[in-house]
Amino acid sequence: MGVLSLISGWPGRSGFGSASTAEQVSDSIDASDLTVIITGGASGIGLETTRVLAMRGAHVIIAARNMKAANEAKQLVVKHNEKAKIDVLELDLSSLKSIKTFSHSFKALNLPLNILINNAGIMFCPYQLSQDGIEMQFATNHLGHFYLTNLLLDKMKETAAATGIEGRIVNLSSVAHVYTYEKGIRFDKISDKDSYSDKRAYGQSKLANILHANELSRRLKEEGANITVNSVHPGIIMTDLMRHSFWQMRILKLFTCLFWKNVPQGAATSCYVAVHPGLKGVSGKYFLDCNEWPASKFATDPELAKNLWDYSNNLVNSLQH
C-alpha cells in the first residue's frame, strides 16, 4: 500500500483498495442478525454506511442531531429498500446531557447492540465552546463519542455474551491526526482560545479517536470481552463536513484530484471494518483503504492513550457535577 495504490485503486492485502465501494466490501455478507448504531448516519458517508448495512439486512439506528434530516434520510433508504430496518434517535454529541438521553432512549427500545460506528464529526470550525464549555471539535469528535461508547459498552458486552457474535466498535479518524499540536494532546489547553488553530484542533480530535480506540481495545482484551475496537481513515471526500472550509477544499481538490474519493468509496473502510468476517478478532488497529495502516508516533503511544482515557473520564465526571 502507498501513494501509487491510493491513486490507482489497486487492492491491498485485504483484496480491497481506495477504489472499492461499501457495497463491494460487504458483498455477500449477511448482517440480518446485527443491530448497528451509526452517529451522523443521516448524511455523507454516514448515510451511505446506513444504506449499505441496511441493504445487508442490519437493523440500523441513525443517531443524528438534525431529526428532520435523519427522517428524510430514513425515507430515502426505505424508498429504495422496502425491507430496510431503520430507526432514528436524536443525538447531539457536543452535549453530554443529549448523549445520556440518547443512551436511555436506545436502551428503552430493548434491542441488542452489535456494532457502534462513531462516524459523526465537525471539521475546521471557528473557535467555539460546546454546551459544556469544551472546545467544540474536541467535544464533538472525541469527548462525545468517548462518553457515548462508555454508556453503551455494557449493552454491547451483554449482546456479545448472549449471542456469541463478536461486537465491533469503529472510530472514524483521519489521516489529519498527524497534524496536531506539539505534544499531540494539549491536556492543559484543550479549550484555550488564544492559541487555537482550527486545523490543529481537528487533528488533535482525530488523534484522540485513534488513542481512544487503542486504549479501549487494550482494556477489552484484558477483560476478555468479545468486542473489537478499531479506527479508520475514510479518505478525502467532499461532504458537509467541509462546510467551514469549502472554498479552500475546492482549490485543494484542483491540485489533488487523484487522491479524492466519492461517497460510496468513502464509506467502504467503515463497512469493511464493521462487518467483514476477515477481521474477526482484529482489534486496536488503524485502517486506510480497507487495509491495516501504520498510524503516527503519537497515535501508537500507549502512555498517551492511557493519559487521554483518564483525562476524558475525569472531564466527563467533572462536567456532570
- 286 in catalytic set: no
For residue 309, the domain's CATH number is 3.40.50.720
Task: Give the residues across from 292 on adjacent strands.
Answer: 287
| Residue closest to 190 by CA, chosen among 125, 131, 121, 134 | 134
Q: What is the pTM of this model?
A: 0.93
The parent domain of residue 263 ranges over 3-319
Q: For the chain, where are the alpha helices, taking DSSP H only? A: 3-8, 22-25, 44-55, 67-80, 96-108, 136-137, 144-163, 198-223, 246-255, 263-266, 268-275, 302-319
pLDDT in tens, the chain (321 residues): 454 454 445 789 999 999 999 999 999 999 999 999 999 999 999 999 999 999 999 999 999 999 999 999 999 999 999 999 999 999 999 999 999 999 999 999 999 999 999 999 999 999 999 999 999 999 999 999 999 999 999 999 999 999 999 999 999 999 999 999 999 999 999 999 999 999 999 999 999 999 999 999 999 999 999 999 999 999 887 544 444 444 554 544 444 444 568 999 999 999 999 999 999 999 999 999 999 999 999 999 999 999 999 999 999 999 987
Q: pLDDT digit string (tens) for 261-317?
A: 899 999 999 999 999 999 999 999 999 999 999 999 999 999 999 999 999 999 999
- Which one of 179, 181, 196, 311 is the catalytic residue? 196
Query: 61-71 burial string, b = 16+ CB within 10 Å, else e?
Result: bbbbbeeebbe
Instruction: State the total domains in the chain.
Output: 1
